[in-house]
Structure 1
Amino acid sequence: MSIIKDFLLQLTFMVIPIFTYFTFITERVKSDKNRNVIMSILWGISILFCMSFPVSFGQNARLELRIIPLLLGTLYGGFWPGIFLSVLIILYRLYSGISIGFYNTFLVLLFTLPVILFFQKSFASSHKDKRIKIAVGLSFYYCLIGLTFFGILRGFSIDHLKVPIIHLIFVVVVTWFFTMLNETIREIHQLRSEMLNSEKLRVISELTSVFAHEIRNPMQVTRGFLQLLDEPDLPKEKKEYIQISIEELDRANEIINDFLSFGKPTINNSDRIDVGYQLQRVVNILQGYSLKHNVEIKTDFLDNCWIYANPQKLNQSLINILKNAIESMPNGGMVWITCTSTDDGYIKIIIKDQGIGMTKKQIDMLGSPFYSLKERGTGLGMRVSFQIVHSFNGKIQVNSEKDIGTEVIILLPQIS
């Protein structure tokens, strides 16, 4: 019974950091850096308790689960938490005295930590099932290396290897369980956040439906007077400005419709359109806006870039993205817009700027409702842009480097 109690105590040391993190930290601490620091401390405390209260199998046989806090802390936290936890293990083991156990611990970490760090990036970008496989595989590798060095230092005999073999099996099973538990709680937390966002969208939809009528009335009046001003003897340039203004009022009306039907499937009136022509229209619309921000727009459009899409919705998406590119350069700069065809049957649109850029975390959050890098932004512009591109069976990819710039790549199915 004493051994079972010790096993349960070891498991408790694993559970406490996970539930502490998701219960108290995720809601209160917004910075990822601070979260990593706090979680590293929690995993470090778990390691100290695991090493202080091992499962004893007699006079020299000890079993503890320090590998699991080390493994989960490194895989979820990254390089520096992994280094911190490893140093903590070595220092604590050194404090207990230099012995064969210390050399075994040091050699195992020396051969396993680089491997764990190597797989950390793959782990961070993988889905749930692959994460579990990576964690279980690394725990098996850690225990196998430990078993090997244990045999080298103490001799390969059944009596000596019995406990390490039990340790290997137990660690692999417990790693699978706690990685599954951690991923499941993360999924529940993510679903909860999405439900909160959905509730915000519902409130916006209700408010928009209330004010939409009052917003449309002055827009229709403005549109009517612009049509009256469009006399035959006006200069061509002024007639073009009036036409653009009318089209932008129509686009604003379409945006209101998007708010009213946000989150609901819409029927697209798609046509065969030339992407290069639509891009040039978008550039013309935002030409004055770009000059105001001291931004120069350079274009390179291939002829006959035909796709099947709704021109108004495509323009809305492109305007949102180009406007973001212009606003990302507070001190001015250059925006490049290109349109080419690819060998695999897509029209490729690239919008590249010299702006402030984004981190990987910020890129991952793009398209999320109410997430914006602008002080007064709502994030709905990029979300709508993503939805529009996807509704045309297209793909959108964002590449960015902090303080260097951002590149938005849009791929749309080409038609002949």
Structure 2
Amino acid sequence: MNIIKDFLLQLMLMIVPIFIYFTFISEKVKGYKKQNIIMTVLWGISILFCMSFPVSLGENARLDLRIIPLLLMSLYGGIWSSLFLSALIIVYRLYFGISIGFYNTVLVLLLSLPVIWFFQKYFIRSEKQKRVRIAVGLSLFYCIVGFIVFNILRGFTLENGIVQIIQLIMGGLVTWFFIVLYETIFEINQIRKELQNAEKVRVISELTSVFAHEIRNPMQVTRGFLELLNEPDLPKEKKEYIQISIEELDRANEIISDFLAFGKPTTDINERIEVGNQLQRVVKIIQSYGMNHNVEIKTEIPGESWIYANSQRLHQSLINILKNAIESMPNGGIVLITYTSTNNGYIRISIKDEGVGMTKEQIDRLGYPYYSLKETGTGLGMMVSFQIIQSFKGKIEVISEKDKGTEFIILLPQIY
């Protein structure tokens, strides 16, 4: 009975940080770095309690699940969080005295952490099912390393072997449970945010559709009179003022069009589209825009691949993303466009630039109303792009590093 009680206590000590994160931190604490620091501290406390109240399997046989908080924070939080928690484990283990157990802890961490860090970047980019497999695999690897090191240092005994096998099984099962739990709660949170965002956009779209006609009419009249006033014999300064006024009216008109495009339901007919041809058409159109910004557009287009989409709307989405990529490089650079087929039935279109890059906070806000990284932007173009790709049952992923560049990954279901 005590074994079950101790094991349930270990589980509770790991559930609490997840509960605190999704209940209080994810919504109320702004900024990825602040959230990461708080979670590192919470997981650190969890590790200390796990080590303080291990599961007792006999007189000299104890195990704890410190690997779970360490692994979760290493995979989701990165190397620095992992280093902090590893140092915490070593220091706290040192508090109990220098013994074979202490050397075992240090050696297992030294052998396991480089492997965990290596797979961390693949974990972040992977989908839910693959994340679960990576995490469980790393947990089993850690336990196996611990089993080997323990037996080298202390010698193999049947009792110790049983304890290590139990830890191996429990480590894998508990890792699977917590990764699935974390990913499921995260998905629910994302759906809730998307629903809230969709409601905001719906209200904006309805208001825009009501007022668009009334706003556009006086705008067109104003633009017409400005063109009439723009006579050849006007002073240069006044001609510049008129031209600026016309350009601003056109920009306002484009904003209204973006609102209407985002708000109206999709009624376009989808058809079979060859991805390579679509990308080549888009590149031809945007090429001159890139040259004006000293940006070279390179493509790597393999054999034929087909998707089911609306050519005009996909074209609009790709143009928006490419324009953003070009404008993110004020000093020029290269935009690389590639596509490949994935193992899970998607076409993966990659648009990679060498621009200013984005922080994680900026990436998380992409596609939301009124959020733009450009001084005169409204964020509507990116909102429309996200909506278009989602209407084709696809999704957009963004990988970016500040001052190094951004990669937009568009995943669309492949047809044969």
Using the TM superposition, give the Cα deviation of residue 141 of structure 1 relative to its aligned residue in structure 2, in angstroms: 0.6
CA distance in 2, matches of 1:191, 1:392: 18
Q: What does 1:2-401 align with in structure 2 at a 5 Å threshold?
A: 2-222=2-222, 225=225, 252=253, 255-256=256-257, 259=260, 262=263, 264-267=265-268, 278-279=285-286, 297-298=293-294, 310=312, 318=319, 322=323, 334-335=331-332, 356-359=356-359, 362-363=362-363, 365-374=365-374, 377-385=377-385
Superposed CA offset, 1:257-284 (max 9, x none): 75265262143899x997688558x85x
Partners of 1:57 and 1:407 in 2: how far apart? 50
Say if 1:297 and 1:337, in contact at 8 Å, map to a contact too.
no
Q: Check 1:352–1:203 CA distance in 2 against 1; reply closer, same or farther (3 A cut).
A: same
Residue 299 of structure 1: how far off its partner (Å): 7.7
State the AA in 2 paired with 1:379: G
Give 1:290's aligned residue.
Answer: none
Q: How far off its partner does 1:130 sit?
A: 0.6
Structure 1 counterpart of 2:64, one-letter code: E
Cα RMSD for the two superposed structures: 4.8
Paired with 1:316 and 1:168, the residues of 2 have a C-alpha distance of 48
Query: Could you tell me how far apart the structure 1 residues matched to 2:27 and 2:352 are?
Result: 36
Please list every run of 5 or more consecutive structure 2 residues that lacks an aligned counterpart in the other structure.
Answer: 232-238, 272-277, 299-309, 342-348, 411-416
- More deviation, 175-184/396-405: 396-405
The verdict on how the C-alpha distance between 1:370 and 1:55 changes in structure 2, with shifts beyond 3 A counting, is same
In 1, distance between residues paired with 2:106 and 2:350?
53
Distance 1:341 1:73 in 2: 33
Give the secondary structure class of the aligned counterpart of 2:98: coil
Taking structure 1 as the reference length, what is the TM-score of the superposition? Answer: 0.73
> Larger Cα Rg: Structure 1 or Structure 2?
1
Deviation at 1:249, TM superposition (A): 5.3
Query: Retained in 2: the 8 A contact 1:309–1:392?
Result: no
Query: What per-residue deviation string (whole Å, max 9, x for no partner) do you get for residues 311-333 of structure 1?
Result: 9x96897578648855x68xxx5
Superposed displacement of residue 183, structure 1: 0.7
Q: Tell me the amino acid that sits aligned with residue 18 of structure 2.
A: I
Matched residues, number: 378
1:267–1:297 Cα change, 3 Å: same
Tell me if structure 2 keeps the 8 A contact 1:46–1:69: yes
Instruction: Give a deviation string over 1:163-206, Cα, whole Å, max 9, x none.
Output: 11111111111111111111111111111111111011011112
Which residue of structure 2 aligns with residue 292 of structure 1? none
CA 1:203/1:97 → structure 2, altered by over 3 Å: closer, same or farther?
Answer: same
> What's the offset of the Cα at 1:369?
3.9
Residues 70, 82 of structure 2: 8 Å contact kept: yes
Question: Compared with structure 1, are the counterparts of its residues 200 and 80 closer, same or farther at alpha carbon in structure 2 (3 Å cutoff)?
Answer: same
Which letter maps to 2:125? S
In structure 1, the residue corresponding to 2:263 is in which secondary structure? coil
Partner secondary structure for residue 199 of structure 1? helix
| TM-score of the aligned structures, taking structure 2 as reference length | 0.73
The alpha-carbon distance between structure 1 residues 300 and 16, as it changes in their structure 2 partners (threshold 3 A), is closer
Preserved contact between residue 338 and residue 349 of structure 1 (Cα < 8 Å): no
8 Å CA contact 1:320–1:382 kept in 2: the answer is yes
Distance across 2 between alignment mates of 1:58 and 1:342: 57
Q: Distance in 2 between matches of 1:301 and 1:82?
A: 39
- The 8 Å contact of residues 352 and 405 in structure 2, kept in 1 or not, is answered as no
Amino acid at match of 1:252: N
Gaps of 5+ in 1: 232-237, 287-294, 303-307, 411-416
- State the distance in 2 between where 1:118 and 1:338 align: 27
Supply the distance in 2 between the matched residues of 1:179 and 1:340 (Cα, whole angstroms). 33
- Distance (Å, rounded) in 2 between the aligned partners of 1:394 and 1:160: 50
Name 1:291's counterpart in structure 2. none
The amino acid of 1:167's aligned partner reads Q
> Does the CA-based 8 Å contact 2:212-2:256 persist in structure 1?
no
- State the percentage of identical aligned residues: 57
Provide closer, same or farther for how the CA distance between residues 253 and 130 of structure 1 changes in structure 2, counting only shifts above 3 A. Answer: closer
Deviations 1:19-44 (A, max 9, x none): 01110100111110011100000000
Q: What CA deviation, in whole Å up to 9, does each residue of 1:236-260 have, x standing for no partner? A: xx9xx99xx79x9599379537526
Q: Call closer, same or farther: CA 1:388–1:251 in 2, change over 3 Å.
A: farther
